Chains A and B, each alone.
Chain A
Amino acid sequence: MSVFTALLSRDLKLALRQSADSLTVIAFFAIATVLFPFGVGPEAEVLSRIAAGVVWVAALLAALLSLDRVFTVDFEDGTLDQLLLNGQSMTLVVLAKVIAHWLTTGVPLIIMSPVLAVTLQLPAEGYGTLVLALLLGTPTVSLVGALGAALVLGARRGGVLLSLLVLPLYIPVLIFGTAAVEAALTGMPSAPMLSILGGFALIAVTLCPFGTAAALRQAAE
């Protein structure tokens, strides 16, 4: 486990030292969300209809912005070669990287989301579900995103390629994430949607790290 704990704490420490990276992602999330009231007008009725969807889409785009960097820096400075020689398991390395990514971008996005939902006039009943849906959905975003980031590693214009590769895969998370909030607003049970989001996360956590590990090994060759 030394591989996992050492790498996780290193990545968190690095994120703290270079906090500008995480702050950019949060600032992007805030600005992208706040653009909507200007675009569609301040009517509470319209905004509250689209609030959940806007927060989710902005969160996905913000996450994508950070995914580009998950492996690139390590790839360019030779750290990836050393990580591949960990002697235990590359899957542990990938899990540490993904969890660090989730903690440094997913969690701040979740914490910011209720504040931004206020600017979009989300009715009070929706907040709890929105946070819960993001809590269950963002791990999938990090896991699938890391797989995409590993696949485009070393490619020219990898960032653009990454969004083309990964954004379509986020559609199911987006659908059920917004549907959960929708259900809470109309007084329907949101548990089924949340369970499906949790199911996605479980599938992603069992499959993505292996694929990501294989893609990283390929990128180093």
Chain B
Amino acid sequence: MVFTQLHFSVAAGGAIVLRGPNGSGKTTLLRLMAGLARPVTGQLKWSGAALEDSDAHGKHLRFIGHLDAIKPAFTVRENLTFWRDFWNTGDASRVVDAMEAFGLAALADFPARLLSAGQRHRLALARLIASPAPLWLLDEPANALDDRSLNALTRTIADHRAKGGMVILASHGADLVSGGTTLALDKFTPTEVMQWDET
């Protein structure tokens, strides 16, 4: 068990920053909220209704984790276009907007296998703009980003919230959101280790 007695909600336009040492369950919590993992006990609600169907929950959110889901054989543009077509939200022109927002426009027709770690991460983040969804779940989004990209990300998050979007992110360092709630996960680490009752 990673955490217990945790209760929180996020309103439209709101943001939550998950903080805590390694292993405190930031990634686990993000994957739970994405519906990729199931909680042992407790439940998740969307607009007040308990989430039953994890297939349908996917359309509410974008999840950017440690793995970037980039196909090296495709160009930057093809990678983004595929995900836009796959989720089919927002119009096709957003692919170009997304590349511009994260400084990838000049690399549009480069094969993704030539990208550096930071560029790959920006390409993963560009999916947020290419195919919009109300809830963003970002796992350490500041990793491998330079100052300019950090600014771009901060701006993107602010724009998203201004339009009523929600952001929940796990972060160690830089402050990417203003006026968000901070949730320190280490306070919810179970104090008593669960034990098997042999009898």
Residues of A within 8 A of B (CB): 2-3, 5-7, 10, 13-14, 17-18, 76-79, 81-82, 84-90, 217, 220-221
Contacts and interface: CB of A to CB of B under 8 A. Distances in A.
B69 interface: yes
A221 B38 contact: yes
Contacts of B73: 14, 17-18
Contact of A82 (B78, B83, B88): B83
B36 A221 contact: yes
A6 B69 contact: no
Interface in B84-113: 85-88
A79 B86 contact: no
A110 B63 CA distance: 40
A212 to B, nearest CB: 14
B36 A85 contact: yes
B66 interface: yes
B155 interface: no
What does DSSP make chain A's interface, helix, strand, loop or mixed? helix
Contacts, number: 82
Given A77-B70, A86-B86, A87-B59, 18 more contacts: A2-B85, A2-B86, A6-B86, A6-B88, A10-B82, A18-B73, A77-B67, A77-B68, A77-B69, A78-B67, A78-B68, A82-B63, A82-B69, A84-B58, A86-B59, A88-B58, A217-B54, A221-B36
A78 B34 CA distance: 14
B37 interface: yes
- A-B pairs, top 5 by smallest CB distance, nearest first, are A78-B67, A87-B59, A2-B88, A85-B58, A87-B58
B59, B65, B70, B88: most-surrounded residue (chain A CB, <10 A): B88
